[in-house]
Amino acid sequence: MYNPESMFADDFINDDEIMKTLAYADENKDNRALIESILDKAELRKGLSHREASVLLVCSIPDLNDRIYSLANQIKNDFYGNRIVMFAPLYLSNYCVNGCVYCPYHAKNKHIPRKKLTQEEIAAEVKALQDIGHKRLAIEAGEDPVNNPIEYILESIRTIYSVKHRNGAIRRVNVNIAATTVENYRKLKEAGIGTYILFQETYNKESYLKLHPTGPKHDYCYHTEAMDRAMEGGIDDVGLGVLFGLELYRYEFAGLLMHAEHLEAVHGVGPHTISVPRVRKADDINPDDFDNGIDDETFLKIVACIRIAVPYTGMIMSTRESKSVRERALHLGISQISGGSKTSVGGYAEDEEEDTSQFEVSDQRPLDEVVRWLVGMGYTPSFCTACYREGRTGDRFMSLCKSGQIQNCCLPNALMTLKEYLMDYASPETRAAGDRMIADEIGMIPSENVRRIVRERIDRIESGERDFRF
């Protein structure tokens, strides 16, 4: 039976409740009065239930759809301003014992080159990432207890944090590894990780079992309950996501929001981030083999409805998406993007890449170009990692977020970290555009005192100092 407070996956992601939600949404997709009342509630910026948001997702009334997009845009601006946080993935190893049918790293793929970075190779990758300007990484590794045990992941995290190259430093390591034990999550927490990210892939149990025919990931409940174990292990920032294209998108959307409701009900804090990947082409993977692919318009509506349903949750979009889709999604709620990404093992430091990519990158622009593009659209690229370093995580972060106080930190930190980027890594053209933006944006900081401090610090960054934060 559906129960968001239960610790059992089948109860908090309950198939019967999702089917009822989809039926309810279908019945009401042109119910103007109901949709208007849901939008009125959403205007309060306190979020929506999975049922309410599911109605918005299928709303077929054009002027109300316009209202959905415009509200998503307003909520984005209210909570995140014009900042976009930048990050890069770092693939450590593509050894994997699982059989996920949508991923080229599945164990039966015998022709993809397998590779696991040594600590020296990781240091080389990190230097290459620092030389581009990145400060925040998401590490990725397949599940393989022999090749990629938790000790390897922990050692890799230590290596990443230890590399200080010129003015570079990786200040936040988010971790995307397979579901594991409370004890291992505790070790990850002690290693100083930022967010623990684990994509559900699909919330539909029947499909999940077929899409994960072999390996430990086949255990749907163990996978779905991973975030509870992570939180029990002390990790209070967790990132959810589904792989859109595997199952009916409306099913995934409802499941995703039910998962967020479950975390809030049990742990008092919802997901820190939600990612919205779509199935992409890769070695031995053809997206057309999956029946549930979604077009760009549907995809953007999902982004807008997630933004409205969980206003406090950051939303991440990777380079799986093209420049034009990313551009539109930024207006609708995406708050974090990757740039200059490589999705292969060792892809940053090596000249000649073996094809070990997990998926084909659609947006292939270098980070400098992505930064200039963002600035050109009026967005402030941010390399901020302050919250986790200042202990603002979990419910502490969420309460600052909900009260709006986090805004006193975000814009100043965005401007100072952008300034560092411009000084150390940007092309002259990007630097000129970024400096103009910083000059304009400082004036937008509400507190005169904070404005004064930021001006002072920007001068000190110009003189060579680094790593200021609020």
Chain contacts with ligand SF4 (rule: CB under 6 A): 85, 96, 98, 100, 103, 105-106, 142-143, 178, 217, 382, 384-387, 406, 409-410, 413
Q: Rank residues 365 and 392 by Cβ distance to ligand SF4 and give the closer one.
A: 392
Q: Rank residues 54 and 393 by Cβ distance to ligand SF4 and give the closer one.
A: 393
447 contact partners, CB below 8 Å, separation of at least 6? 408
DSSP of 88-132: EEEEEE-------TT-TTSTT--SSPP-B--HHHHHHHHHHHHHH
Q: Rank residues 58 and 334 by Cβ distance to ligand SF4 and give the closer one.
A: 334
Tell me how far, at minimum, the Cβ of 49 lies from ligand SF4, in Å.
25
Rounded to whole angstroms, the Cα distance separating 392 from 406 reads: 10
Q: Rank residues 67 and 106 by Cβ distance to ligand SF4 and give the closer one.
A: 106
Contact by Cβ (8 Å): 267, 232: no
Tell me how far, at minimum, the Cβ of 332 lies from ligand SF4, in Å.
19
- Please report where in the chains the tokens 């000129």 appear, as a residue: 432
Direct distance between the N- and C-terminal alpha carbons of the chain, in angstroms, rounded to an integer: 45
Tell me how far, at minimum, the Cβ of 129 lies from ligand SF4, in Å.
18
Q: Rank residues 26 and 355 by Cβ distance to ligand SF4 and give the closer one.
A: 355
Q: Rank residues 174 and 413 by Cβ distance to ligand SF4 and give the closer one.
A: 413
Buried b (16+ CB within 10 A) or exposed e, 104-141: bbbbebeebebbbbeeebbbbbbbbbbebbbbbbbbbb
Q: Rank residues 58 and 211 by Cβ distance to ligand SF4 and give the closer one.
A: 211
Tell me how far, at minimum, the Cβ of 436 lies from ligand SF4, in Å.
21
CA-CA-CA-CA dihedral for 292, 299, 261, 206, to nearest 10 = 10
Tell me how far, at minimum, the Cβ of 58 lies from ligand SF4, in Å.
29
Tell me how far, at minimum, the Cβ of 314 lies from ligand SF4, in Å.
8
Q: Rank residues 235 and 409 by Cβ distance to ligand SF4 and give the closer one.
A: 409
Tell me how far, at minimum, the Cβ of 336 lies from ligand SF4, in Å.
9
- Give Dmax over CA atoms of the chain in angstroms: 63
Rounded to whole angstroms, the Cα distance separating 343 from 128 reads: 14
Q: Rank residues 50 and 172 by Cβ distance to ligand SF4 and give the closer one.
A: 172
- Return the axis-axis angle of helices 119-132 and 150-162, rounded to nearest 10°: 40
For residue 273, report the phi and psi dihedrals to the nearest 5 degrees.
Answer: -140, 160
Tell me how far, at minimum, the Cβ of 465 lies from ligand SF4, in Å.
19
Tell me how far, at minimum, the Cβ of 149 lies from ligand SF4, in Å.
15
Q: Rank residues 142 and 255 by Cβ distance to ligand SF4 and give the closer one.
A: 142
Instruction: Give the H/E segment covering residue 317.
Output: strand 314-317
For residue 107, give Cα distances in angstroms to 98, 112, 143, 290, 429. 6, 10, 10, 20, 46
Tell me how far, at minimum, the Cβ of 178 lies from ligand SF4, in Å.
6
Q: Backbone dihedral region of 344: left (phi > 0), alpha (psi from -120 to 50 degrees) or beta?
A: beta
34 contact partners, CB below 8 Å, separation of at least 6? 28, 55
Among 383, 367, 377, 371, smallest CA distance to 434 is for 371
